[in-house]
Structure 1
Amino acid sequence: MTHEPAYLALAHAMADAAADVIRPHFRKRLAIDTKADASPVTVADRDAEATMRQMIEAQFPDHGIRGEEFGACRTDAKWIWVLDPIDGTKSFVSGSLAFGTQIALVHRGKPVIGLINQPITGERWFGTGSGATLNGEPIHTSGTTALDEAILYTSALEQFDPSRHDRFSALAAKVRFTRFSHDCYAAGLLALGGIDLLVESNVFDYDILPQMPIVQAAGGIVTDWDGRQLGDASRYDTVLMAANEELHRAALKALRPA
Structure 2
Amino acid sequence: MDRAFFEQLSAAARAAIRQETAAGLVGENKAASGYDPVTAADRSAERALRSLIERTFADHGIWGEEYGLARGDSPIRWSLDPVDGTRALICGLPSWAVLVGLLDKGRHIAGMIDLPAIEETLIAVDGETRRNGAPVRTSGCTTLADARFSTTDPFLFPWEELEAVNRVRRAVRLTRYGLDAMAYARVATGDIDLVIESGLHPHDYDALVAVVRGAGGAIGDWTGGTTFEGGHVVAAASRELYEEAVALLA
Q: TM-score range by the shorter chain?
A: over 0.9
Q: Provide the residue aligned with 1:16 in structure 2.
A: 11
1-structure distance, mates of 2:76, 2:204? 18
2-structure distance, mates of 1:66, 1:82? 5
Report deviation, 1:26.
4.3
SS of aligned partner of 1:44: helix
Asked if the contact 1:22–1:119 (Cα under 8 Å) also holds between the matched residues in 2, the reply is no
Asked if the contact 1:23–1:120 (Cα under 8 Å) also holds between the matched residues in 2, the reply is no
Q: Provide the residue aligned with 1:249 in structure 2.
A: 243
SS of aligned partner of 1:241: strand
Report deviation, 1:236.
3.6
Asked if the contact 1:27–1:94 (Cα under 8 Å) also holds between the matched residues in 2, the reply is no
- Structure 2: 5+ residue runs without aligned partners? none
SS of aligned partner of 1:165: helix
**Aligned AA (1:50):** R
Report deviation, 1:199.
0.3
Q: CA RMSD in A?
A: 1.6
Q: What is the 5 A alignment of 1:119-134?
A: 119-134=116-131
1-structure distance, mates of 2:177, 2:20? 24
1-structure distance, mates of 2:6, 2:79? 11
**Aligned AA (1:44):** A
Asked if the contact 1:151–1:178 (Cα under 8 Å) also holds between the matched residues in 2, the reply is yes
Asked if the contact 2:113–2:123 (Cα under 8 Å) also holds between the matched residues in 1, the reply is yes
Report deviation, 1:69.
0.7
Q: What is the 5 A alignment of 1:1-258?
A: 4-5=1-2, 8-26=3-21, 29-36=24-31, 38-230=35-227, 236-256=230-250
Asked if the contact 1:92–1:99 (Cα under 8 Å) also holds between the matched residues in 2, the reply is yes
Deviation sequence 1:136-173 (CA, Å, 0-9, x none):
10100112222111011112223311111110011101
Deviation sequence 1:57-86 (CA, Å, 0-9, x none):
222221111001111111110111111111
Asked if the contact 1:23–1:119 (Cα under 8 Å) also holds between the matched residues in 2, the reply is no
Report deviation, 1:104.
0.8
**Aligned AA (1:43):** A
1-structure distance, mates of 2:211, 2:231? 21
2-structure distance, mates of 1:31, 1:195? 32
User: Identical aligned pairs, as a percentage?
Assistant: 33
1-structure distance, mates of 2:147, 2:19? 37
Asked if the contact 2:222–2:233 (Cα under 8 Å) also holds between the matched residues in 1, the reply is yes
2-structure distance, mates of 1:228, 1:204? 16
Return the TM-score normalized by structure 2: 0.94
Report deviation, 1:9.
3.2
Asked if the contact 1:153–1:198 (Cα under 8 Å) also holds between the matched residues in 2, the reply is yes
SS of aligned partner of 1:145: coil
Asked if the contact 1:125–1:135 (Cα under 8 Å) also holds between the matched residues in 2, the reply is yes
Aligned residues: 248
Sort the Cα spacing of 1:130 and 1:224 in 2 relative to 1 into closer, same or farther, 3 A.
Answer: closer
2-structure distance, mates of 1:27, 1:60? 31
